[in-house]
Amino acid sequence: MIRRIIKGVSLLLILSTAMFLLSPQIGMASEHVVKPADLQRALVAASQGRADNLSKLESFFASEAGQRTLRLAGAGSAKVERALPLLDDEELARLAGLAERAQADFEAGALNNQQITYILIALGTAVLILLLVVLID
């Protein structure tokens, strides 16, 4: 009698396990929280924003004043160019915003050469410090 009950329970467990494994929809969400198309658009936008920020900083450091200031600070443009891609997105966006504002102020005549030199030294130093922090971690 007990053997029949054990056989029946075993058969029931085997059938329920088979049903669970054969129907993958059980336990899965019927709809994704984030649609793949939305996720792809967000990734493309983030990638484009990062590329834009990198190009802004590279052009800022490639300017004549930027090159001169980097030489005075003892940081070659090669070091800065290697360090820029290592920055995270937030820091890259912050530095690009600073560089853009400094460029706009300089072009508008609001900053003189000495002030732009100080800004370039600060930006170059920030990039080098961030590079050191990344390499140490």
Mean pLDDT of 100-106: 72
| pTM across the whole model | 0.54
Tokens 């190009």 appear where?
55
Instruction: Indicate if the pLDDT at residue 14 is higher than 60.
Output: yes
Give the pLDDT confidence of 27-55 residue by residue, as tens digits. Answer: 555 566 778 888 889 888 888 998 898 88
Indicate the angle between helix axes 113-136 and 89-108, nearest 10 degrees: 170
Number of helices and strands in the chain (H, E): 6, 0
Q: Are 121 and 73 in contact (CB under 8 A)?
A: yes
Range scoring the smallest mean pLDDT among 15-19, 73-77, 104-108: 104-108
Question: Whole-angstrom Cα distance, residue 85 to residue 131?
Answer: 10
Question: Whole-angstrom Cα distance, residue 131 to residue 57?
Answer: 15
Give the pLDDT confidence of 52-98 residue by residue, as tens digits. Answer: 988 888 887 777 766 776 777 677 777 777 778 888 888 888 888 88
Domain ranges of the chain: 52-136
Instruction: Indicate if the pLDDT at residue 111 is higher than 70.
Output: no
Question: Whole-angstrom Cα distance, residue 21 to residue 27?
Answer: 11
